[in-house]
């Protein structure tokens, strides 16, 4: 009994620890797929792998520390850029807004030869 309980607790702990983000109700995988298709048409497969790794394709994901938000886990350091694009930070969990912001970040990095480097899952 003790062993079974211990194994169950350990397994549950591993599952929780493996989760990179806390999902927020109301997310939509289909919106994520559509947003990626819109903003990364030539990089669609790669962008889907990165977003899957970053947020499990959950547009409403927020990292445990609260520093990274949405589909591509846009860091709060980009708040000023998001505002310059005409969006409020509260819109960053919208799949389309997040993918559009990610595309701007990607394009900026790509001009410097690093493309997906800003994402920890850029290797995906």
Model confidence band, residue 25 (pLDDT cutoffs 50, 70, 90) = very low
Q: What is the Cα–Cα distance from 44 to 107, expressed in whole angstroms?
A: 14
* 41 Cβ neighbours under 8 A, 6+ residues apart: none
Confidence check: pLDDT of 26 > 70: no
Query: What was the pLDDT predicted at 75?
Result: 97
Q: What is the Cα–Cα distance from 89 to 87, expressed in whole angstroms?
A: 6
More confident position, 8 or 113: 113
Quick one: 52 exposed, middle or buried, by C-beta within 10 A (0-12, 13-18, 19+)? middle
Here the tokens at position 58 are 């959950």
Taking only the tens place, the pLDDT of each residue in 60-96 is: 999 999 999 999 999 999 999 999 999 999 999 999 9
Model confidence band, residue 1 (pLDDT cutoffs 50, 70, 90) = low
Here the tokens at position 15 are 């599952």
Q: State the pairing for strand pair 74-75/68-69.
A: antiparallel
* Domains of the chain by start residue, with CATH: 21-111 (1.10.530.10)
The model's pTM is 0.77
Contact 106, 78 (CB under 8 A): no
Percent of the residues in the chain that have a pLDDT greater than 90, as a whole number:
71
């Amino acid at each position: 009994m003790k062993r079974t309980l211990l194994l169950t607790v350990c397994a549950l702990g591993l599952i929780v620890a493996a989760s990179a983000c806390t999902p927020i109700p109301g997310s939509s995988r289909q919106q994520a797929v559509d947003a990626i298709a819109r903003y990364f048409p030539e990089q669609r497969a790669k962008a889907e792998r990165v977003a899957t790794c970053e947020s499990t394709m959950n547009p409403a994901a927020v990292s445990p520390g609260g520093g990274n938000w949405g589909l591509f886990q846009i860091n709060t350091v980009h708040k000023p850029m998001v505002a310059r694009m005409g969006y409020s930070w509260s819109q960053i969990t919208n799949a389309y807004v997040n993918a559009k912001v990610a595309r701007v970040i990607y394009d900026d990095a790509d001009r410097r030869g690093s493309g997906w480097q800003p994402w920890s899952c850029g290797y995906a």
